[in-house]
Structure formats: structure tokens, C-alpha cells
């Protein structure tokens, strides 16, 4: 698997770099970003935090807005941010140009319905292809954690629950916690997977929690002034499911915070230190 470096910036003694590569899983060219802490200069292999972004985002939003590099450089943790969907000529998009389906809205599932199943296999990309690429080309270990925001928070929690042996810890900001029961999730899962709602359950964190037998330590932050709180995110469903199986989830309701990167930047250090407990 070959990669091409398209940009690089020194940051807190480490490096932020963007790469492109051809994805066999997604059947298109993809871009990802990686922050490499200064520890790699000493020949040290470092663990990786994978960050999954939300609707309309790309690899750039987190790296430019979250302010994670300073502490990641201090702790010695690499950060990898993939795009949120396949892109490029021939990749299907919502015919009405909606922001919550198609380009920028892959929802971290493997689509089964045409035309989406030709490209939209973000679950396999995040779980298998991208980590294999990162571990082949960069001085990183096989210690992984995963985190994300909104649609990406859904992706991080769901992926960790389905792959507990691959991730040491998981965290999320404002995750779509119960997508089978919210408008964003119903649109995306129905479009990518079809009308059989039983096939949706494998991608729903709340439903997966109810049957979990191998927990991954989890931290979730949710703002109380998030405009999507009640209709789309449903943290109460997440909390109830975790409580029903005594899952090690810490859910923090942060007074006055909204859905933006101002919220993420306010608490990203907490999340990095949380993951460091298990990665280092």
C-alpha cells in the first residue's frame, strides 16, 4: 500500500502531515492526517488515537480546531484522522445535496444498498485498512484507542464495542448514541442498509451495549446546551443501556456547552489523559 505526502507542518516538536492513498476498500482515493509526536525522533514506536469526525467534516477539522497536538506531543501519542466518507469522481452523493447523507456523511457503516455499496464501506476502512496502512508506514505500535464527535462519536463507540480486542479505550463528544431511533440515524442507516431495521442494530451503540460481554473503558462528554441533544443524540438511552449491564462508561453532562469545536477544545485534554492511562 503506497501513500503520498501532500502537506506537513511542524507542531509542538512533532509533525502534522496529510497523505493520500488509494483505498481498495472504498474503491477511491482517500486522504488522512496524522500527528506524530517528537518521541519518534528517538526511535520510539508510539500508540495511536484514531479520531472520527462528524457530519460535513474532513480530516482537517479536528487537527485545526481541537488543540490536541500540545498534550499529544507531551504524552507521546500519535493521532490519526481519516475523512468522513469516500470522495471523488464517481462516488455517489445525496441527490438533493443534503449534508446528512452521502459525501461527508459515511456514518462508519458498510453499505449494502446500491449505489452506496460500491464505495461506502467506512466501517471496514476505519477498522482494518487504515490501521494496517498506518502501522506499515509510520513508527507506531499496535496499541490503539478511538474517539470521535457526533457522527464520529457514534462511529468510535460502535467500533470499539464491536472490536474490543483492537482498542484499549474509547471516548466521544456528543455522540449519536441511538441512531436507530433518531432522524439522522434513520436516514443514514435506511439509505445505506435498506429497510430491514434488524440490520441496523449492529451499528447502534445503545443496542450493542445491552449485549456487551467484553467492555472497553469509555468516556463520553455531552453539552447541556447542544441543540441536537434530545432529538438526535439521546444520551439518556446510552446511560440506561450502560447501567443495565454495569458497563464502565463515564458520561459527563457539561453545563452550558454546545455541539461545536469550542466544546471539544475545552475538554480534549481530559480525553487524551483518559486514553493515556490505557495506551502508555
Give residue-wise pLDDT tens across range 18-50: 999 999 999 999 999 999 999 999 889 999 999
Q: Which residue out of 11, 150, 169, 171 is catalytically annotated? A: 150
Q: Which residue out of 154, 169, 226, 271 is catalytically annotated? A: 226
Measured distance between the N- and C-terminal CA atoms of the chain, rounded to whole angstroms? 28
| Helix, coil or strand: residue 2 | coil
pLDDT in tens, 48-60: 999 999 999 999 9
* Average of per-residue pLDDT across 215-231: 98
* Average of per-residue pLDDT across 183-190: 98
Phi/psi at 3 (5° precision): -135, 155
* Average of per-residue pLDDT across 229-233: 98
Alpha helices in 56-212 (DSSP H): 60-65, 69-75, 122-124, 130-137, 151-162, 183-193, 205-209
User: What is the model's pLDDT at position 214?
Assistant: 95
pLDDT in tens, 157-166: 999 999 999 9
Listed residue (221, 218, 67, 244) closest to 157, CA to CA: 218
Q: Which residue out of 16, 39, 154, 259 is catalytically annotated? A: 259
Domain extents in the chain: 3-279
User: What is the model's pLDDT at position 62?
Assistant: 98
- 147 classed as catalytic: no
**Fold topology of 3-279:** Rossmann fold (3.40.50)
At 13, is the pLDDT very low, low, confident or very high (cuts 50, 70, 90)?
very high
Write down the mean pLDDT value for the chain.
97
Listed residue (203, 231, 187, 195) closest to 94, CA to CA: 187
User: What is the model's pLDDT at position 1?
Assistant: 81
Listed residue (131, 82, 92, 86) closest to 106, CA to CA: 86
- 22 classed as catalytic: no
User: What is the model's pLDDT at position 171?
Assistant: 98
For the question of whether the overall pTM of this predicted structure is more than 0.75, the answer is yes
User: What is the model's pLDDT at position 243?
Assistant: 97
User: What is the model's pLDDT at position 241?
Assistant: 97
* Average of per-residue pLDDT across 168-176: 98
- 226 classed as catalytic: yes
Output the DSSP codes for 218-239. EEEEEETT-TTIIIII-HHHHH
State the burial class of residue 177 (Cβ atoms within 10 Å of its Cβ: 0-12, 13-18, 19+): buried
pLDDT in tens, 76-132: 999 999 999 999 999 999 999 999 999 999 999 999 999 999 999 999 999 999 999
Amino acid at each position: 500500500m503506497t501513500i503520498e505526502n501532500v502537506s506537513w507542518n511542524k507542531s509542538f516538536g512533532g509533525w502534522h502531515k496529510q497523505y493520500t492513498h488509494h483505498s481498495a476498500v472504498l474503491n477511491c482515493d482517500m486522504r488522512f492526517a496524522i500527528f506524530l509526536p517528537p518521541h519518534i525522533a528517538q526511535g520510539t514506536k508510539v500508540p495511536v488515537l484514531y479520531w472520527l469526525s462528524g457530519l460535513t467534516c474532513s480530516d482537517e477539522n479536528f487537527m485545526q480546531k481541537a488543540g490536541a497536538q500540545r498534550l499529544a506531543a507531551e504524552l507521546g501519542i500519535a493521532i490519526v484522522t481519516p475523512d468522513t466518507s469516500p470522495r471523488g469522481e464517481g462516488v455517489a452523493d445525496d441527490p438533493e445535496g443534503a449534508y446528512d447523507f452521502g459525501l461527508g456523511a459515511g456514518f462508519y457503516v458498510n453499505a449494502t444498498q446500491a449505489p452506496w455499496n460500491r464505495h461506502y464501506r467506512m466501517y471496514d476502512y476505519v477498522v482494518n485498512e487504515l490501521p494496517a496502512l498506518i502501522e506499515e508506514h509510520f513508527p507506531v505500535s499496535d496499541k490503539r484507542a478511538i474517539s470521535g464527535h457526533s457522527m464520529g462519536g457514534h462511529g468510535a463507540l460502535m467500533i470499539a464495542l464491536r472490536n474490543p480486542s483492537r482498542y484499549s479505550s474509547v471516548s466521544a463528544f456528543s455522540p449519536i448514541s441511538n441512531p436507530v431511533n433518531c432522524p439522522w440515524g434513520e436516514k443514514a442507516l435506511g439509505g445505506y442498509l435498506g429497510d430491514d431495521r434488524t440490520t441496523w442494530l449492529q451499528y447502534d451503540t445503545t443496542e450493542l451495549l445491552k449485549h456487551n460481554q467484553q467492555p472497553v473503558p469509555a468516556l463520553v462528554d455531552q453539552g447541556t446546551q447542544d441543540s441536537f441533544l434530545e432529538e438526535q443524540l439521546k444520551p439518556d438511552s446510552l446511560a440506561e443501556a450502560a447501567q443495565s449491564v454495569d458497563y464502565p462508561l463515564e458520561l459527563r453532562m457539561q453545563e452550558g456547552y454546545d455541539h461545536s469545536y469550542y466544546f471539544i477544545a475545552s475538554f480534549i485534554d481530559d480525553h487524551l489523559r483518559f486514553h493515556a492511562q490505557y495506551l502508555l
